Amino acid sequence: MKPVDPEDAPEQRQHLWRAAVKWPMYAVAVMPALVAAGWLLGPGHTAWRLQPRQLVLFLLAAVLLLAWENLCNDYFDAQTGIDIHKPHSLIQLTGAPGVVFVAAQICFVSGLLLMVQVAVNSSWWLLVLVLVACCCGYLYQGPPFRLGYQGLGEPLCWLAFGPLATTAALVGLGAPALGSGGGGPLDPFLACQLGCGPALATTLVLFCSHFHQVDDDLAHGKRSPVQRLGTARAAALVPWFVILALLAEAAPVIRGLWPSTALLSLVSLPVAVPLIRLLRRYHNQPEPVRHSKFLALRFQMANGVLFACGLALGGLTVSS
Per-residue pLDDT reduced to its tens digit, 6-47: 455 566 666 666 655 677 788 899 999 999 999 999 887 665
Confidence grade of residue 282 (pLDDT, cut at 50, 70, 90): very high
**pLDDT attached to residue 183:** 42
The pLDDT of 166-183, averaged and rounded, is 67
Distance (Å, whole) CA 114 – CA 181: 24
**pLDDT attached to residue 219:** 77
**pLDDT attached to residue 20:** 56
**pLDDT attached to residue 196:** 95
**pLDDT attached to residue 75:** 86
Distance (Å, whole) CA 94 – CA 103: 12
List the one residue out of 57, 94, 13, 37 whose CA is nearest residue 308: 37
List the one residue out of 108, 109, 130 whose CA is nearest residue 118: 130
Q: Which is more confident, 139 or 48?
A: 139
Give the mean pLDDT of the chain: 85
In the three-class reduction of DSSP (H, G, I as helix; E, B as strand; rest coil), residue 100 is classed as helix
The pLDDT of 120-127, averaged and rounded, is 90
Provide CB contacts within 8 A for 198, sequence distance 6+.
31, 32, 35, 161, 162, 166, 245, 249, 300, 303, 304, 307
Provide CB contacts within 8 A for 34, sequence distance 6+.
304, 305, 308
DSSP 288: T
Q: Which range in 93-107, 124-138, 172-186 is most confidently predicted, on average pLDDT?
A: 124-138
The pLDDT of 225-230, averaged and rounded, is 92
Provide CB contacts within 8 A for 268, sequence distance 6+.
246, 299, 302, 303, 306
- Asked if 301 and 28 count as a contact pair (C-beta separation under 8 A), the reply is no
Confidence grade of residue 1 (pLDDT, cut at 50, 70, 90): very low
* pLDDT tens, position by position, 77-103: 777 766 665 666 677 777 778 888 999
- Asked if 188 and 167 count as a contact pair (C-beta separation under 8 A), the reply is yes
List the one residue out of 38, 47, 58, 41 whose CA is nearest residue 186: 47
Q: Is the pLDDT of residue 185 over 90?
A: no
**pLDDT attached to residue 87:** 60
